[in-house]
Amino acid sequence: MKRLILLLPLLAALLFPAPPLAASAADGRYAVCEQDVWFYAGASEEERLFLIPDTYYVRVLEEGEVYSTVEYLVDDLPYKKLLGYCRTDQLLFVDFIPVRPYLRKQITVTYTLPEAGDLGDDAFTSVERTFVYYGDRYESGQLYLYVLLDGTFGYIPADAPPEYEHNTDYLAATSGDGETDQTPAAESPVSATQIVVICLACGAAVAITIILMRGKRRQTDEPQDF
């Protein structure tokens, strides 16, 4: 009988496993920068740095009435995390952890060396530099890209913003047009595999009971030594 009592919890654990754990709150809260969202070095309009790439996220560390403290990108070479601010009213907060929150993009720029062609060797006429791209900024009609090179941030002029894939996974989560499954949980059918497992487990429990009962009878028929 004692063996049966010990085996029943094991069978129950196999039939009804524990539910998966929810995502940890330590992962932080995220917000989408849908369009024209500035990243600020300080909580002031005079401290604009760049426009965050559309449809990508910032991780919100502290939500404020006017400005929220945020971080963008991560410390993963050649990328570097930026700590700053965004206007709270420009952010679209989400209740999930995005799979691809930040745009990871590098751009290569070719610079032509002045009068290098006189050397007669094409290897000396140009030099390439690869930058980590963070966002755009326009000043007096000129486009500048906010970039990182060898641990230093700065701007480089450009004729057009770089192309990148938009991150639209938040649309399905925030739109209310999609149809939701209204089937009650109690009406969820049990699969054939689950039925087989349950029957096998119940059969095993009955078999164990019978074996234990038979063993108990044999023990009672035999003389006991004290």
How many C-beta neighbours within 10 Å does residue 145 have?
Answer: 20
Query: Has residue 182 got a pLDDT over 80?
Result: no
pLDDT at res. 24: 43
Q: What is the pLDDT of residue 119?
A: 55
Average of per-residue pLDDT values in the chain: 74
Q: Is the pLDDT of residue 96 over 50?
A: yes
3-state SS, residue 9: helix
Asked whether the beta carbons of 113 and 124 are under 8 A apart, the reply is yes
How many separate helices (H) and strands (E) can be counted in the chain? 3, 11
> Quick check: 164 and 103 in contact, CB under 8 A?
yes
Tell whether the model's pLDDT for residue 83 goes beyond 80: yes
Domain positions in the chain are 2-20+190-217, 106-163
d(CA 128, CA 108): 7
> Cβ(136)–Cβ(164) under 8 Å?
no
Query: Measured between alpha carbons, how far is 50 from 143 in angstroms, rounded to an integer?
Result: 11
Tell which residue, 139, 148, 152, has the closest CA to residue 106: 148
Higher pLDDT, 194 or 106: 106
Long-range interactions of 143-152: CB distance < 8 A, separation 24+: 145/107, 146/49, 146/50, 147/107, 148/78, 148/79, 148/80, 151/80
Q: Which is more confident, 91 or 26?
A: 91
Residue pair 69/85 in contact (Cβ under 8 Å)? The answer is yes
Give the per-residue pLDDT at 178: 40
The pLDDT assigned to 186 comes to 36
- Specify the fold of 106-163: SH3 type barrels. (2.30.30)
In this structure, what are the phi and psi dihedrals at residue 105, rounded to the nearest 5 degrees?
-140, 135
**For position 168, what pLDDT does the model report?**
83
State the pTM of this model. 0.63
Average pLDDT over residues 153-177: 83
